[in-house]
């Protein structure tokens, strides 16, 4: 049952996202079990773990693209998926409004193929958030310049490389002025030589103080950029620590085994 107040610690600032007792099952198959975590402002949290450990599902539950089977997701004191201050489920329109506060970048980019690069970035701010077009376009041009695509404003997604598409997707998420951006394996679909350009953009965002939650298999990147690493296995949080500790002295045998495999295959 939905609670009406976010469980907070008075000594701490309010988390951007707080996940409380979240579980998700697909049919009878549990994918996430009793997940509890808080994402603090300006944190860069990397979700690590083997394929199928629930990283993507956790991100998708955070913005309710997947409805959690149980548990709660709080966004700056507002419970995702529920009407403000009530136990009733939010309508699709209310849920859509909540989602605008959480940016999402997908593994497959998911740029809208019928729109140009600029249109992809301005579409939601203009038509969902109803912001003035001139202001949004100026901001979008600035963001696209920031991700190195100032000369591709009128290009269509079909004319871009994978790395360029993902940078547009990041600019699209930024244009929403969200409280947090969730990145679901943003480099997994890229050719190895294109990974660097996307990671550099994400690194810039992290350094600029954007709150980021990143599901990734890029261990070196996580070690360099993350302020915190969360290791998932079989749908449970096994370990949550700062990256130096995690990569140098993982607490659990499962995390050690996972990291050893990455060292063994040369992924670090």
Partner 1 sequence: MSLRFDLIWEQAPAFLSGLWNTVWICAIGISLSLILGILLLLPLFSHHKVVRLPTKLLVEAARAIPFLMLAYLVYYGLPSLGLTLDSWSTAILTIVIYNAAYVADILRSAWVNLPKGQTEAARACGFTGVQLLRRIVLPQILIAAAPILGNQAIQVIRDSSFLAIITVPELTFTAKAVQADSFVPFESFITAALLYWVLCLLIEFGVQRLEWVRNFYGKA
Please give the residue ranges that form the binding site for partner 1 (CB under 8 A): 63, 65, 92-93, 95-97, 99-100, 102-104, 106, 108-114, 123-124, 127-129, 156-158, 165, 169, 172, 176
168/238 with CB nearer partner 1? 168
Closest approach of Cβ 97 to partner 1, in Å? Answer: 6
Dihedral angle over CA of 125, 129, 132, 138, nearest 10: -20
User: Which residue, 107, 76, 95, 111, is CA-closest to 183?
Assistant: 107
Helices (H), the chain: 55-62, 92-99, 117-127, 133-146, 162-175, 192-207, 219-225, 243-248, 253-264
Give the residue with the Cβ less far from partner 1, 96 or 267.
96
* Residue 75 vs 238, nearer CB to partner 1: 75
Specify the 3-state DSSP secondary structure of 106.
coil
Residue 216 to residues 59, 88, 133, 163: CA-CA distances in angstroms? 11, 34, 34, 16
Q: How many residues does the chain have?
A: 268
User: Minimal distance in Å, beta carbon 66 to partner 1?
Assistant: 10
Token digits of residue 194: 């294109």
CB of 128 to partner 1, least distance (A): 4
211 CB-near residues (< 8 Å, 6+ apart): 16, 39, 40, 41, 42, 43, 44, 179, 180, 181
Residue 1 or 93: the one with the smaller Cβ distance to partner 1 is: 93
Residue with smaller CB distance to partner 1, 53 or 116: 116
Specify the residue, 97 or 220, whose C-beta has the smaller distance to partner 1: 97
Kindly report the backbone phi and psi dihedral angles of residue 25, in degrees, each rounded to the nearest multiple of 5, phi listed first: -120, 140
CB of 232 to partner 1, least distance (A): 21
**Distance of closest approach, residue 107 Cβ to partner 1, in angstroms:** 9
Supply the minimum distance, in Å, between the C-beta of residue 205 and partner 1. Answer: 17
């Amino acid at each position: 049952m939905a609670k009406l107040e976010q469980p907070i610690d008075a000594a701490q600032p309010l988390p951007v996202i707080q996940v409380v007792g979240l579980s998700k099952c697909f049919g009878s198959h549990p994918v996430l079990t009793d997940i509890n975590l808080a994402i603090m402002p300006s944190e860069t949290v990397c979700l690590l773990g083997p394929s199928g450990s629930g990283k993507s599902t956790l991100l998708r539950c955070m913005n309710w693209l997947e409805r959690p089977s149980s548990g709660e997701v709080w966004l700056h004191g507002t419970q995702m998926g529920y009407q403000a201050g009530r136990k009733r489920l939010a309508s699709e329109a209310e849920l859509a409004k909540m989602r605008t506060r959480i940016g999402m970048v997908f593994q497959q980019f998911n740029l809208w193929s019928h729109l140009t690069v600029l249109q992809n970035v301005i579409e939601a701010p203009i038509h969902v958030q109803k912001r003035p077009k001139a202001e949004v376009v100026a901001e979008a041009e600035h963001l696209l310049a920031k991700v190195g695509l100032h000369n591709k404003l009128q290009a269509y997604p079909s004319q871009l490389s994978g790395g360029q598409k993902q940078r547009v997707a990041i600019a699209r998420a930024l244009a929403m002025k969200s409280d947090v951006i969730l990145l679901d394996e943003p480099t997994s679909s890229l050719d190895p030589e294109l990974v660097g350009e996307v990671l550099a953009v994400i690194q810039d965002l992290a350094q600029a103080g954007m709150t980021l939650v990143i599901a990734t298999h890029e261990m070196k990147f996580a070690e360099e950029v993350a302020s915190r690493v969360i290791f998932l296995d079989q749908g449970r949080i096994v370990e949550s620590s700062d990256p130096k500790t995690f990569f140098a002295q993982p607490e659990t045998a499962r995390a050690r085994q996972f990291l050893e495999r990455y060292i063994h295959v040369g992924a670090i």
